[in-house]
Amino acid sequence: MAHPSTPHLPLTLLSDDERAFADMIYQYAKEKFGPLVSKMDEESKLDPCVLPSLFKDLGVMGVEIPEEHGGAGASFMMATLAVESLARVDPSVAVVVDVQNTLVNNALVRWCNDEQKARVLPKMASEWVGSYALSEPSSGSDAFALKCRADRVEGGWRLNGTKLWITNGGESTLFIVMANTDFSKGYKGITSFLVQRGAPGFTVGKKEDKLGIRASSTTELIFEDCFVPDADVLGEVGKGYKIAIETLNEGRIGIGAQMLGLAQGAFDYAMAFMLERKQFGRPIAEFQGLSFQYAQVATELEAARLMVYNAARLKDLGRPFVKEAAMAKLYASQVAESAASMCLEFIGGVGFTKEYPLEKLYRDAKIGKIYEGTSNMQLDTIAKLLRAEYTR
């Protein structure tokens, strides 16, 4: 069964330009990537057309990169909309764009010096995929328990250690790598480095075989006396923790957008199916047992959209957004999992087969509660900020 046509995005909180942008991304993705989604999931890799399309046709790999460096010079909100719109078709493609913009490019635009910007940003906007390498076997939620070390040598640093669960690792040319330059200082020894694929001593290791978002590569990175020159230190030595914290706060909004788009894609499909499918002489969408349930799903979707968009707007305005980002990521991931599950049930037994897209979206949804900060970590962040607000 072909993916049915879907209604336009709701008008909620979008300008005409933003709405047109989101709709353009979605329509392109549905036509170009839609027919490839099942194959990419089965083969656990992106089709060769995907990255050129994202860079050249859509121009969504450098949304916030300034125009003087070849990017679109647009807002964080526009990057959020790009991720959401792509996720309605394939969350695997969406996360490629999400990590590129909300993590990697955001860090580069904010922390690169002028020489680094001139050297790196035009490539990121036109051809390089990027990865954000923080997680390790011993540091997941405890993000600063890093064992990857950087030792001072003449002209630069030697990196040794392993990174795990690195999104885009299979496609990336540039990696932002966190390593500790002085373990006696704890997290204040952490420093960020720019490492290119092919650097001596740097190997991209095994690719994970995952439950969902299978076309998105998740890999191991191995550093064995990998030399990084001083010119490729990102920001200041010992300030990598600051880069990590600030970037991950923004990244949570991107994951919220991915989960929102996933849930919307599942809902679009289920609604079209329920309006077509007849039992007892009428469309199943008319039965109260279903209609109350999909009305509830639609309400939760709208609430998640408001939260994600609000967090993105706050970020663009330069106002505090950490609590709102954590809430948006937490809630959107909950809605994605529940919506995908309900929508699969709405279409009945066929939803449990790989011939229909909902079983894939159901599998894809699970990661939303795990990566870029588990749901428990979001709750911990929210609780800390609430205590601070109420004790001022």
Q: Give the SS3 label for residue 150.
A: strand
Q: What is the DSSP code (8-state) at residue 136?
A: B
pLDDT at res. 392: 82
In sequence order, which residues have a C-beta less than 8 Å from that of residue 113 and are 6 or more positions away?
Answer: none
pLDDT at res. 5: 45
pLDDT at res. 10: 56
Give kind and range of the element (H or E) at residue 160.
strand 156-167
pLDDT in 10s for each residue of the chain, 392 residues:
444 444 445 556 789 999 999 999 999 999 999 999 999 999 999 999 999 999 999 999 999 999 999 999 999 999 999 999 999 999 999 999 999 999 999 999 999 999 999 999 999 999 999 999 999 998 888 878 899 999 999 999 999 999 999 999 999 999 999 999 999 999 999 999 999 999 999 999 999 999 999 999 999 999 999 999 999 999 999 999 999 999 999 999 999 999 999 999 999 999 999 999 999 999 999 999 999 999 999 999 999 999 999 999 999 999 999 999 999 999 999 999 999 999 999 999 999 999 999 999 999 999 999 999 999 999 999 999 999 999 98
CATH number listed for the domain at residues 242-390: 1.20.140.10
CA distances from 364 to 27, 74, 300 (A): 21, 28, 19
pLDDT at res. 4: 45
Q: Find, among 332, 278, 273, the residue nearest to 80 by Cα.
A: 332
Locus of tokens 């006696």: 184
CA distances from 190 to 113, 133, 150, 177, 241 (A): 18, 13, 9, 10, 6
Q: How far apart are the first and last CA of the chain?
A: 57
pTM of the model: 0.95
The CA-based diameter of the chain, rounded to the nearest angstrom, is 79
Domain positions in the chain are 16-129, 131-238, 242-390
Handedness of CA 30, 32, 37, 39 (dihedral sign): positive
Classify domain 16-129 by CATH architecture.
Orthogonal Bundle (1.10)
Which one from 18, 220, 300, 372 is the annotated catalytic residue?
372
Q: Under CATH, to which class is 131-238 assigned? A: mainly beta
pLDDT at res. 141: 85
In sequence order, which residues have a C-beta less than 8 Å from that of residue 374 and are 6 or more positions away?
Answer: 141
pLDDT at res. 139: 86
CA distances from 175 to 62, 76, 223, 244, 363 (A): 16, 21, 12, 13, 27
Query: What is the C-alpha to C-alpha distance for residues 161 and 173, in angstroms, rounded to an integer?
Result: 19
pLDDT at res. 13: 77
Q: What is the DSSP code (8-state) at residue 155?
A: T
Would residue 276 show up in a list of annotated catalytic residues for this protein? Answer: no
Query: What is the C-alpha to C-alpha distance for residues 210 and 199, in angstroms, rounded to an integer?
Result: 27
Query: What is the C-alpha to C-alpha distance for residues 168 and 43, in angstroms, rounded to an integer?
Result: 16
